[in-house]
């Protein structure tokens, strides 16, 4: 995961609104008091961290796919006899047309091309990209590209081979993720059932569970139930978050 990933302002606003709704809902279900949501305020940091982790993983996946498209563009340019530095400059233009100037790959390629224009070696710029993103595929390519450049190898053939290997790896990962996500959806549906049952009881048999509210024993029991539920959800998400 990219440790330097930052949530955009709109994502932070969405996090605040979402966490506020979840806190109010939990307060109403477990304590029959919306004002009790203030107790959950310290958990906002953990919630934001979890959202950041999910966003970061999605960003890494998108950037990896976009980088593979970049390598295809670079390979085409190299096959036409263009130098590696100019090939990456052309790829930057191609990616801007394909994904837009504000896309992640367009920004990263723009940074690489700027560094090269200022006299930095392309291999060093690629290593910098690998360090910033911490994406294994990009780091592997940076190593292979550096070795190929030092040995005077055929860049077009080397990059084509890299793209083929990376594509096979991504396909295997996608197939595995399809199976994992199917189980994740099942797990998330199961997580909805306990609060769903509680909502049903509150509306259909309010007096039946009324003894659990507005008294010290009931608050203790519901707090324990809430803690066990939150722990179970976090544990199930952790188990389902398998690295492929």
DSSP label of 211: G
User: In angstroms, what CA-CA distances link 137 with 56, 134, 146, 150, 243?
Assistant: 16, 9, 14, 20, 14
Residue ranges, the chain, pLDDT below 70: 1-5, 153, 240-244
Q: What is the pTM of this model?
A: 0.74
Looking at residue 240, its pLDDT comes to: 64
pLDDT of res. 95: 92
- Taking only the tens place, the pLDDT of each residue in 176-195 is 778 777 777 888 888 889 89
Q: What is the pLDDT of residue 228?
A: 92
Apex CA 145: angle with CA 143 and CA 146, to 5°? 65
User: What pLDDT is stored for residue 241 in this prediction?
Assistant: 65
**What pLDDT score does 235 carry?**
84
- Gyration radius of the chain over CA positions: 25
CA–CA separation, 87 and 93 (whole Å): 10
- CA-angle at 143, arms to 137 and 148, nearest 5°: 120
**Model confidence pLDDT, tens digit, residues 92-106:** 999 999 888 888 899
Task: Give all domains of the chain, ordered by start, each with its CATH number.
Answer: 60-172 (1.20.81)
């Amino acid at each position: 995961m990219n440790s330097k990933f930052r949530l955009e302002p709109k994502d932070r606003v969405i996090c605040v609104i979402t966490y506020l709704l979840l806190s109010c809902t939990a307060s109403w279900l477990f304590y029959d008091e919306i004002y009790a949501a203030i107790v959950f305020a310290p958990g906002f940091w953990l919630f934001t961290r979890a959202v950041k982790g999910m966003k970061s993983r999605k960003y890494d996946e998108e950037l990896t796919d976009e980088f593979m498209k970049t390598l295809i563009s670079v390979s085409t340019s190299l096959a036409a006899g263009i130098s590696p530095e100019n090939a990456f400059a052309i790829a930057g233009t191609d990616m801007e047309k394909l994904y837009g100037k504000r896309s992640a790959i367009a920004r990263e390629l723009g940074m690489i091309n700027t560094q090269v224009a200022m006299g930095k070696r392309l291999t060093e710029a690629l290593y910098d990209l690998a360090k910033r993103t911490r994406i294994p595929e990009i780091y592997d390519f940076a190593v292979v590209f550096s070795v190929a450049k030092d040995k005077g190898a055929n860049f077009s053939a080397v990059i084509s081979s890299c793209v083929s290997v990376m594509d096979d790896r991504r396909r295997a990962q996608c197939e595995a993720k399809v199976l994992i996500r199917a189980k994740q959806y099942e797990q998330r549906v199961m997580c909805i059932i306990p609060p769903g049952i509680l909502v049903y009881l509150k509306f259909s048999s309010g007096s039946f569970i009324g003894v659990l509210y507005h008294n010290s024993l009931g608050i203790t029991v519901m707090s324990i139930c809430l803690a066990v539920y939150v722990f179970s959800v976090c544990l199930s998400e952790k188990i389902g978050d398998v690295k492929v």
